[in-house]
Amino acid sequence: MAAGETLTSSQYVKHHLHHWQISLGDSAFWQLNIDTLIVSIVLGALFLTVMYIGAKRASPDVPGKLQNMVESLCEWIDNSVASTYHHKRNFVTPLAITIFVWVLLMNFMDLIPVDLVGWTITRMTGSSEYYFRLVPTADANLTFGLSITVFLLIIFYNLKAKGAFGLTKEIFSAPFGIWLFPLNIAFRLIDELVKPLSLSLRLYGNLFAGELIFILIALLPWWIQWTLGGLWAIFHILIIVIQAFVFMMLTVVYLNLAQDAH
């Protein structure tokens, strides 16, 4: 859009829902959402840096505020994992901590005013021709990427716990017996494919809806924006935390099911 151009409500919404993209080829399939990559990587690096600093400053005598916060978080997540995951947790608990904190940080970007980044870019560059979305989890590409990673871990833990022969036998014989193996295979395929779909679409749908509501509130007169925006932000904080927790716990549940025998 040109500098100084007044957007209609429809154009405003479309502009804020458009990603900053680069194309890697002629096909529209080979496009990268640069804003999603930048924000998610920066937040991941921030999380790792804070945890590293907390580990370096850890003291067995007088723990600091950061150490207390990290220990409380890790203990809470480990207890949540232990109540659901009935195997050794030396990998799954750190995985759950990473998923919860990283998804939570990405979700919290939805609380930043929708026009703040645009205003900053315009002041820095003098151009209003920009696209930048701040909420990585409102991008289906990222949520599907996370869920596909979980799906690969499910396959790995199935093979690790049961072996190739045991897993093949389970697919063919459970739950209706070997003589109904076509039905068993169909049910198993549906069951396994639904897991990454439910993980990704639940997170994406909730955060996309939240982002869209904030954009619609920004279209209202200034004197009502802060009231409605504040009320929605307070309610949305609950959604943000719950969605991060649900994604973490479903991952743990799926990994536990992968190692349990039918």
Q: ω into residue 175 within 30 of 0, thus cis?
A: yes
Q: Tell me whether residue 40 is one of the annotated catalytic residues.
A: no
* Within a domain: 240: yes
pLDDT at 1 over 80: no
pLDDT at 82 over 60: yes
pLDDT at 125 over 90: no
Report the pLDDT averaged over residues 43-60: 90
Tokens of 255: 């990994």
Strands (E) in the chain, as ranges, are: 21-23, 31-33
Match 């609380």 to its residue by tokens. Answer: 111
pLDDT at 146 over 80: yes
Crossing angle for the helix pair 92-108 and 34-56, nearest 10 degrees?
130
Mean pLDDT of the chain: 89
* Within a domain: 185: yes
Match 């429809």 to its residue by tokens. Answer: 10
Do 255 and 154 touch, CB atoms closer than 8 A? yes
* Within a domain: 1: no
Q: Number of structural domains, the chain? A: 1
Helix count (H) and strand count (E) of the chain? 8, 2
Match 């039918």 to its residue by tokens. Answer: 262
* Within a domain: 94: yes
- Residue 138 makes CB contacts below 8 A (sequence gap 6+) with 110, 204, 207, 208, 210, 211
Report the pLDDT averaged over residues 199-214: 94
- From the list 33, 198, 200, 256, the catalytic residue is 198
Percent above pLDDT 70 for the chain? 95
Report the pLDDT averaged over residues 170-191: 89
How far apart CA 68 and CA 156 sit, in angstroms, is: 34
Q: Tell me whether residue 188 is one of the annotated catalytic residues.
A: no
pLDDT at 27 over 90: no
| Range with lowest mean pLDDT among 2-6, 75-79, 220-224 | 2-6
Q: Which domain holds residue 163?
A: 9-259
* Within a domain: 4: no
Report the pLDDT averaged over residues 59-76: 87
* Within a domain: 176: yes
pLDDT at 2 over 50: no
pLDDT at 111 over 90: yes
- From the list 80, 173, 188, 202, the catalytic residue is 202
* Within a domain: 242: yes
Confidence at residue 5, expressed as pLDDT on a 0 to 100 scale? 59
Residues in a beta bridge with 21: 33
How confident is residue 149, by pLDDT bands cut at 50, 70 and 90? very high
Confidence at residue 121, expressed as pLDDT on a 0 to 100 scale? 81
pLDDT at 3 over 80: no
Q: Tell me whether residue 200 is one of the annotated catalytic residues.
A: no
* Within a domain: 2: no
Residues in a beta bridge with 31: 23
DSSP assignment of 148-206 equals HHHHHHHHHHHHHHHHHHHHHHHHHHTTT-GGGHHHHHHHHHHHHHHHHHHHHHHHHHH
How far apart CA 34 and CA 45 sit, in angstroms, is: 16
77 C-beta neighbours (distance < 10 Å), count: 23
